Every structure is written in structure tokens, then in C-alpha cells.
Amino acid sequence: MRTVITGGAGFIGSHLCDYLIKKEHEVVCIDNLLTGKTENIVHLMGNCQFHFIKHNVSDYIYVDGHVDNVLHFASPASPFDYLEFPIQTLKVGSLGTLNSLGLAKSKKAKFLLASTSEVYGDPQVHPQREDYWGHVNPVGPRGVYDEAKRFAEAMTMAYHRYHNVNTRIVRIFNTYGPRMRVKDGRALPNFMCQALKSEDITVFGDGSQTRSFCYVSDLVDGIYKLLLSDEHVPVNIGNPEEVTILQLAREMITLTGSKSKIIFKPLPVDDPRIRQPDISRARKILNWEPRILRKEGLSKTLKYFKDTLDNNEK
Ligand code: UDP
């Protein structure tokens, strides 16, 4: 198997590279390193199963030789990033998806799109099932990510229906684990690093909004199962265990034994009030469900951030 992963130097992309190399795939990782990092893939450099191409997939993608799978994971994914890079986010979700689909079509390869729970926007249905069409503000600041991913899903289905490309769409819910960046901007890494540095923990709004956090190894497992399945319509992959953001902040203080205080900051525009995946379809079709409890996942992630912060200080 020869698999192209766009965004392969990112948080989830790099875990996928590792997973597929263990499954004996040859992996071609393409990343322009806008939000991805060479540190995430440096351990794979020199491995003859791994090739890295530094390239922006919003421009035409050229890959030599045969390709069996194209996994399109390139995109800024933290609200903090897509507010800083709105045009790049729109381009990689639209032109990047078009180019990745074009590559899959020309190589007669399978294609898998990394979509997101953000396609549901600020949802009015709870938990979110795949047949819910969502509640997205197209012109709000988050619209650049949400609408790009909604367009990407439409484009993927069009290539499937019109060009017969063998496609998959995974809707990824909040995911965490090692290789998230210290300055990622998302709640979980922010809270963990703030707690470790005894800084104030910044809860946006009153912290009553909810999210459901999936450990990265569970996610990658689900994505692989989806790739092997025959499912063309979107499938939610995430952990349904839902928490309020305030509860997450408190858990972080307990976990680290930190002296940090919780402070409250304004809620960002269009911040979803609630989020929880309905994973009935993944359970049924893929025989998949998450196995790592938050307590376990958080302690693995804690070790990673401790080491990273220690190294940054050296
Ligand atoms: N959030 C927070 N403090 C932070 C970062 C985020 O309270 O320092 C909140 C954010 O407003 C949202 C939730 O935590 O309600 C999850 O945000 P995140 O950026 O992790 O991802 P999202 O699920 O919104 O894409």
C-alpha cells in the first residue's frame, strides 16, 4: 500500500503516518508546515517507508508513481489558527481538497477527507448525528473553517458520484494527545500548559459550554477502520463523553496539582454551546468505539507537555 497524507506533519496527520507505517504502508507525507512541524515526523526521516514533500496542497500536487490511498488532512484546525490564517484555511479546504481529489482520481486511489464536527456549527440537535445538516454562520469568523469543510464534503461526494472516486468522509470531533502544540490555542492544550506553568487558566464565557474529547490513538484507529470500510457518506468519530469547559479546567488543576486560578474571558463569536458525537453509525458499521478514558488520555498527554515545556526551558 502506498498512501499520501496531506497535512502529515500535523498533530493528527503525524499520528496517522506512524499508524500506517506500522501497518507496512509506504507513506508520502505532504505538508507546507504552516501549522505542522518537522518535530512531529523527524523520527520517521531516514525510514525507507517514509517520504516527506514540503508543499502547499492548495497548489497542484504532483506525486510520482502509483498511489493506493490519498488522505486529506491538511488544514489549520484550531480556532486560533484559522482566525490567523482565514484565506489559507478556505483555500486548503476548497482548492486543497480539489487537488487531493484530482490526485486520487488520476491514480485510481481511495480518498479519505478529514472533515469536522464544525460542519454542525452551533448545533440545535444533541448529540449530533450524521444526518443533521448543521447550523453554521457562513459570514462569522469561524465560517472560514466550517464552510471550507462543508464545501470539501460536497466536493468529495461530487467526485464520488460523478467520477466514481472511492471516497470516505470522517467527521472528527475534538481530539487531543501528544504533539499538540503548546501554543495551539485550543482549550485542552491551553489549560494543561497553563496549569503546568502555574498561570491563570483562561475559561472563555462562563465555561458552561460543552465538548467531548477523544484521545488521538482511538481516533486514528477509527479512521483506519473507515478507510477499510465501504462507507461513502460521512461518519462521526469522537468520544461521546461530554464535559463542560469549566469542568475540564478544574480537572486540569486536580491532575497537575497546580496552584493556577481559573479566570473568565469573553466567549468568542459563534462558539458552539454544546458538542457531543452520536457514534451509533461508527459502532455499527465499523465496529469501533473509543477505549481510552479521559483520565488515562490526559495523563499520557500530561507527560508529553511536561517534557515539551522542560525542553523549551533548556
Ligand atoms: N476555550 C476556553 N479557553 C481557552 C481556549 C478555548 O475556554 O483558552 C473554550 C472555547 O471558547 C470553546 C471550548 O473551550 O468553548 C473548546 O475550544 P477549542 O478551541 O478547544 O475548540 P473548539 O471545540 O471550539 O473548536
Model pLDDT, residue 303: 96
223-260 per-position pLDDT tens digit: 999 999 999 999 999 999 999 999 999 999 999 999 99
Residues 155-181, mean pLDDT to the nearest whole number: 98
- Which atom belonging to ligand 1 lies closest to the Cα atom of 203? 7
Q: Residue ranges of the domains in the chain? A: 2-175+214-237, 178-211+241-270+292-313
Task: Return the CATH number of the domain spanning residue range 2-175+214-237.
Answer: 3.40.50.720
66-103 per-position pLDDT tens digit: 999 999 999 999 999 999 999 999 999 999 999 999 99
Give pLDDT, residue 54.
Answer: 98
Averaged pLDDT for residues 277-301:
97
With residue 44 as reference, give the H or E element that holds it: none
Sequence-distant (≥ 6) Cβ neighbours of residue 121 within 8 angstroms:
134, 135, 136, 137, 142, 146, 270, 272
DSSP designation for 266: P
Three-state SS at 265: strand
Q: Which residues line ligand 1 (CB under 6 A)?
A: 79, 174, 186-187, 190, 202-204, 209, 211, 245, 267-268, 271
Q: How far is the CA of 280 from the centre of ligand 1 (A)?
A: 25
Select from 3.30.460.80, 2.60.98.20, 3.90.25.10, 3.40.605.10 the CATH code of 178-211+241-270+292-313: 3.90.25.10
DSSP string, 80-133: HHHHHSHHHHHHHHHHHHHHHHHHHHHHT-EEEEEEEGGGGBS-SSSSBPTT--
Element (H, E) at 255: helix 245-256
Q: What is the pLDDT of residue 299?
A: 95
145 as an active site residue: the answer is: yes
**Residue 191 CA, closest ligand 1 atom number:** 8
pLDDT value at 302 more than 90: yes
Please list, in sequence order, all residues whose beta carbon lies within 8 angstroms of the beta carbon of residue 259, skipping any fewer than 6 positions away: 198
Kindly report the average pLDDT of the chain as a whole number. 97
* Strand spans (E) along the chain: 2-6, 26-31, 50-54, 69-72, 110-116, 167-172, 175-176, 201-204, 210-212, 214-215, 235-237, 242-244, 262-265
The residue length of the chain stands at 314
pLDDT of residue 312: 84
How far is residue 53 from each of residues 18, 42, 92, measured CA to CA in Å? 16, 13, 16
User: Atom 24, ligand 1: which residue's CA is nearest?
Assistant: 271
Asked whether residue 263 carries a pLDDT value surpassing 90, the answer given is yes
Is 148:90 a contact under the CB 8 Å cutoff?
A: yes
Taking alpha carbons only, the member of 42, 38, 114 closest to residue 71 is 114
Is it the case that residue 313 has pLDDT exceeding 80?
A: no
